[in-house]
């Protein structure tokens, strides 16, 4: 009887030790981020922006592409855009996010809205296209310049978005602060609705052009995009080198001529605990299926430009794809 009891105990202990050994395996992380192997996730969430911007429709296209190519269930979710997205990745509530390049840099360095709250668990997949800063109003408002915004009701973007930082910096080079305007914190859709019903006078919109919400406004009223004069552009670029010179092309929103302005860049960022293999597959899927992107901005996206102006460390999985293609930052 004692022999049987001893034998049964030994078998149980051996079985338990094998289970514990199997559970302790895990995924080894490579130095510098990104697990080299790693289990493929069952679900990936891409956080984007508001429904009236560019991130959301692009995110929908990317989600379909990634799901078809990798077999991972992938979903695009609306959000408050860049700054909120970086915090969402920090909290582990999504895997991939759209962000402006400047906001991703602030997050990694703990600057501005991220002071004392660095986002350290993110790396870049790559940049996508220019994010044009559009200062939107209407002809009937009588506003024709940035200086005219003093004392007006002006939306600087949704709480948590990167648009507020752009608004602050552009107003700054014009000698204007948020105290000089009647500040409103509204999403693009809310901003357009406010302009339309007269509850606000103007709005900052940082998004690829044409922006859906502004297109909708132009269908009902004559839209004006306020120009940024060249000397102010030069001052802005000198002080904040993540900006590039840009314009809103003639014909956009019915504009009679091109409007000079500035832009940052849209980029995709990813949590650094996604494996190298998974991020490689995601990067490859997106850049090799851009013909499936229906939004007009798809024509501006290419792997060849994806390392330009990234500003933060590139995930090893994305870097592996660029290395295979011989792509380097210009």
pLDDT per residue over 120-134, tens digit each? 999 999 999 988 999
pLDDT digits (tens, 9 = 90+) for 248-281: 999 999 999 999 999 999 999 999 999 999 999 9
pLDDT digits (tens, 9 = 90+) for 132-160: 999 999 999 999 999 999 999 999 998 76
Q: Which residue has the tokens 């007006």?
A: 152
Contact assessment for residue 223 and residue 136, using Cβ atoms and an 8 Å cutoff? yes
pLDDT digits (tens, 9 = 90+) for 41-71: 999 999 999 888 889 999 999 999 999 999 9
Distances (CA, A) of 217 to 193, 199, 212, 316, 330: 8, 14, 9, 42, 37
Q: How far apart are CA 276 and CA 295, in angstroms?
A: 28
**Phi, psi for residue 233 in degrees, rounded to 5:** -60, -45
DSSP 35: B
Task: Tell me the Cα Rg of the chain.
Answer: 24
- pLDDT reading at 13 higher than 60: no
Q: Which two tokens stand for residue 72?
A: 């991972």
Can you give the pLDDT at residue 52? 82
| pTM given for the model | 0.71
DSSP 28: P
Q: Mean pLDDT across the stretch 289-315?
A: 92
Confidence of residue 36 (pLDDT cuts 50, 70, 90): low
Q: What percentage of the chain reaches a pLDDT higher than 90?
A: 72
Q: What percentage of the chain reaches a pLDDT higher than 70?
A: 88
Contact assessment for residue 310 and residue 329, using Cβ atoms and an 8 Å cutoff? yes
Q: Which residue has the tokens 């504009």?
A: 255
Q: Mean pLDDT across the stretch 217-229?
A: 96
Q: In whole numbers, what is the pLDDT of the chain averaged over residues?
A: 88
Q: Mean pLDDT across the stretch 79-91?
A: 94
**Is cis: bond before 285, omega within 30 of 0?**
no
A 10 A CB-CB count for 67 gives 16
Can you give the pLDDT at residue 19? 37
Q: How far apart are CA 151 and CA 155, in angstroms?
A: 12
* Type and span of the H or E element at 21: helix 2-23
Contact assessment for residue 74 and residue 278, using Cβ atoms and an 8 Å cutoff? no
Task: Please give the residue that has the higher pLDDT: either 213 or 287.
Answer: 287
Can you give the pLDDT at residue 297? 87
Can you give the pLDDT at residue 20? 39
Domains identified in the chain and CATH numbers: 43-128+266-325 (3.40.190.10), 131-264 (3.40.190.10)
- pLDDT reading at 95 higher than 90: yes
Q: Which two tokens stand for residue 117?
A: 């709250």
Q: Which two tokens stand for residue 42?
A: 């069952």
């Amino acid at each position: 009887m004692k022999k049987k009891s001893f034998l049964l105990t030994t078998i149980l202990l051996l079985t338990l030790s094998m289970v514990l050994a199997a559970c302790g395996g895990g995924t080894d992380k490579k130095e510098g981020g990104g697990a080299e192997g790693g289990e493929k996730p069952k679900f990936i969430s891409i956080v984007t922006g508001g429904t009236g911007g560019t991130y959301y429709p692009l995110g929908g296209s990317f989600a379909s592409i990634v799901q078809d190519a990798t077999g991972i269930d992938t979903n695009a979710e609306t959000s408050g855009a860049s700054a909120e997205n970086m915090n969402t990745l920090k909290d582990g509530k999504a895997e991939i996010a759209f962000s402006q390049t400047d906001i991703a840099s602030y997050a990694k360095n703990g600057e501005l809205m991220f002071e004392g709250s660095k986002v350290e668990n993110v790396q870049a997949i790559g940049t996508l296209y220019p994010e044009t800063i559009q200062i939107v109003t209407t002809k009937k408002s009588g506003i024709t310049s940035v200086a005219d915004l003093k004392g007006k009701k002006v939306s600087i973007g949704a709480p948590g978005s990167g648009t507020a930082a752009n608004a602050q910096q552009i107003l700054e080079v014009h000698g204007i602060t948020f105290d000089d305007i009647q500040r409103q914190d509204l999403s693009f859709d809310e901003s357009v609705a406010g302009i339309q019903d007269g509850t606000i006078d103007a709005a900052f919109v940082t998004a690829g052009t044409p922006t859906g919400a502004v297109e909708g406004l132009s269908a009902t009223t004559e839209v004006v995009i306020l120009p940024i004069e060249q000397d102010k552009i030069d001052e802005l670029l000198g002080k904040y080198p993540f900006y590039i010179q840009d314009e809103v092309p003639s014909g956009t929103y019915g504009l009679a001529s091109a409007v000079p302005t500035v832009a940052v860049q849209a980029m995709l960022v990813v949590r650094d605990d996604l494996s190298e293999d998974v991020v490689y597959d995601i990067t490859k899927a997106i850049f090799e299926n851009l013909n499936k992107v229906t939004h007009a901005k798809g024509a501006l996206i290419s792997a060849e430009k994806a390392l330009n102006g990234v500003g933060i460390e590139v995930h090893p999985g994305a870097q592996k794809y660029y290395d295979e293609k011989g792509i380097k930052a210009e």
